[in-house]
Structure 1
């Protein structure tokens, strides 16, 4: 039977003020090889980078498998058996969208196994439904910079091409962070002044990210979520503050603890201490999830 190779990018979310709304695809990829079979479910997981495989299930609870089965059921396709081979390069629980990437790869695989082209609007509903928000999923699905929102129980996203001068750099610590834990640190209400501040900075960020990157330092300033989550990753919080004091547009990536720096050089200042972090440039991925027959 025909098999498919799914390549899906990592993503960074929030980008400072765009909590649960902004996402950007990054050129770090998980690769999923999938084939429908007449036999049982078989799942192989390979660590192709910093992904880690020790705590990844290899049964029907695997996130890619769940996304494939949900998508195939939605499309009216039955799978007697499935062979899945996952090469993980996106580090888990670091704020680089590993869960969203897994779901998007599974949704894309479901369309491929059904013999259908991906309907991006429909696929977004399936993928974002796993996490309840569409920022990471939309970025991995569409590529580029995305603005995501929900309305009437449906998820939506608009894709933008980031300014060519923007060169993201990530600082990835060895420690992990759980989204559920960091969300629990957020208060049920915030001061009106902070909400107004973030509304203005989020609007400015769209302009800075697409047309005027020299405004990124101001545009990535956040008062809505990062300082509430600071106790969960003090080293990341300190690095963000240090970079911003040096004029670098830095923020916590997603739920953390990875630090995202939106630079135009692809490097961080040489005298900024990054002990405990792996630092590397990750270009913006412009293509989103890709499917190829094999």
Structure 2
């Protein structure tokens, strides 16, 4: 039995939607599982070729949830989603492992079950929701469960992502957050998040330009990304409608409906920062996908 799992990258926050908005992107990692007499992990740095690999942790977590013993596997990783860059690589790994285990066990769990398991593992749902379910989601926790709402999004948006060659540690990004915010800033962020949802659905670039502003996390976190101001200037010089930090960074995303604008920005970013990676991405409508071959 061979199980191949494809899981998408995701971006969270999207400006003012801190810890609730998430979007699956058309950049994927692919994981292949097959039964083995001994644990083998291939396709990743040596430090992760062991049972502590996050994919295998997700695999075992679902097996425990089912009350089953996790089978020994050979895991081959083709990682299209970069690690520790704010594109949901942890969710990608956990969701892939859980989905593969579900397939090995005969699919006793639903997609929502997978989402619950992945969100509990991470402790927050904003990347797990789009990774498992696909598309644009708003997620929250209530009554000891996580909830994910599917939101409409125009297919015309392009997400020009620039991925620096350095990471921003999530712990550092969390420490940079203010302990308290004013009522004025709270109202500003909430109102802009609502407007952001409308702009994403309608494809209104003028509304997006205004809505994608944040006073909660980006003013603090941008200081952790050395090249934020330079890349932001390049994005708007290229004609982008909006610019935001993906997750806690270091990836930065410019939004536009123009393929030419997106390509112009990524080309300018590569020219200015040759060691950085850059992709023009679209919304990924499908979340984690599983293929089984006997």
Q: Structure 2 length normalisation: TM-score?
A: 0.91
Residues 178-236 of structure 1 deviation map (CA, whole Å, 9 limit, x = unaligned): 11111111121112211110100111111111124322111211111011112210312
Distance of 2:220 and 2:230 partners within structure 1: 14
Aligned to 1:76: 67
Aligned pairs for 1:177-216 (under 5 A) are 177-214=168-205, 215-216=207-208
Cα distance in 2, alignment partners of residues 28 and 160 from structure 1: 20
Structure 1 counterpart SS, 2:231: helix
- Normalising by structure 1, we get a TM-score of 0.91
Out of 137, 146, 161, which is 1:155 matched to?
Answer: 146
Q: What is the deviation of 1:155? A: 1.0
Pairing partner for 1:236 from 218, 228, 237: 228
| Residue equivalent to 2:39 | 41
Contact 2:5 2:30 in 1 (8 A): yes
The CA deviation at 1:80 is 4.2
Q: Secondary structure at the match of 1:288?
A: coil
**Equivalent of 2:209, from 217, 236, 239?**
217
Q: Does 1:259 align with 2:257?
A: no
**Superposed displacement of residue 242, structure 1:** 5.4
| 246-255 vs 86-95, which moves further | 246-255
The structure in which a higher percent of residues are helix is 2
Q: Can you give the 5+ residue segments of structure 1 that lack an aligned partner in the other structure? A: 47-52
Ranges of 4+ aligned residues in structure 1 off by more than 6 Å: none
- The Cα shift of 1:270 comes to 4.4
* Cα separation, partners in 2 of 1:105 and 1:247, compared to 1, 3 Å: closer
> Take 2:70 and 2:17, find their aligned partners in 1: how far apart are those partners?
39
Q: Secondary structure at the match of 1:130?
A: helix
Q: List per-residue Cα deviations over 1:155-180 (Å, max 9, x = no partner).
A: 11111241022111111111112111
- Counterpart Cα distance in 1 of 2:68 and 2:263: 52
Whole-angstrom distance in 2 between the partners of 1:64 and 1:135: 19
Decide which of 67, 78, 101 is 1:87's aligned counterpart.
78
Q: What CA distance in whole angstroms lies between the structure 2 residues aligned with 1:265 and 1:117?
A: 43
Identify if the C-alpha distance between structure 1 residues 24 and 64 changes in structure 2 by more than 3 Å, giving closer, same or farther: same
SS at match of 2:95: helix
- The residue that corresponds to 1:104 in the other structure is 95
Q: Which residue of 2 aligns with 1:164?
A: 155
What CA RMSD, in Å, does the superposition of the two structures yield over aligned residues? Answer: 1.9
- Residue 240 (structure 1) shift: 2.8
Give the alignment of 1:9-158 within 5 angstroms. Answer: 9-37=8-36, 39-44=37-42, 46=43, 53-54=44-45, 56-116=47-107, 118-158=109-149
